[in-house]
């Protein structure tokens, strides 16, 4: 028999994953819309838009990602029910958010 504390932990882990998924989806959409707004404002000629070199930013991101990936090592991963519930909540939040 599962104790109430364990059941509550499982439910809260699922809800936390769900909330993270919702916030990631909404935040990503807001970021994308802000970038589109900056591009349109730059095209119109508004001067408050910072001059950003897209190729410089992409190259900077790629070099940082490569440096991180080289140092990243996957050890033994123990998948428990809480991790699975968190990932299910995250997926549902991203999908339905």
Of all residues in the chain, the percent with pLDDT exceeding 70 is 73
pTM, 2 dp: 0.53
Give the domain ranges of the chain: 12-96
What is the DSSP secondary structure assignment for residue 49, as one 8-state letter? S
Concatenating the DSSP letter of every residue in 52-72 gives --HHHHHHHHHHHHHHHHHH-
Q: Region 49-55: what's the mean pLDDT?
A: 68
pLDDT at 83 over 70: yes
* Geometric angle at alpha carbon 73, from 94 and 91, rounded to 5°: 10
Instruction: State residue 56's pLDDT score.
Output: 80
Radius of gyration, alpha carbons of the chain: 20
Nearest to 11 by CA among 69, 2, 34: 2
Taking the C-alpha atoms of residue 25 and residue 50, their distance in angstroms, rounded to an integer, is 26
């Amino acid at each position: 028999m599962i104790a109430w504390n364990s059941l509550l932990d499982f439910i809260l882990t699922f809800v936390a994953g769900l909330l993270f998924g919702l916030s990631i989806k909404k935040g990503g959409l807001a970021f994308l819309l802000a970038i589109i707004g900056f591009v349109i404002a730059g095209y119109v000629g508004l001067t408050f838009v910072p001059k950003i070199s897209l190729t410089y930013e992409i190259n900077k991101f790629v070099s940082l990602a490569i440096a991180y990936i080289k140092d990243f090592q996957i050890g033994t991963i123990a998948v428990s029910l809480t991790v699975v519930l968190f990932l299910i909540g995250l997926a549902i939040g991203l999908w339905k958010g």
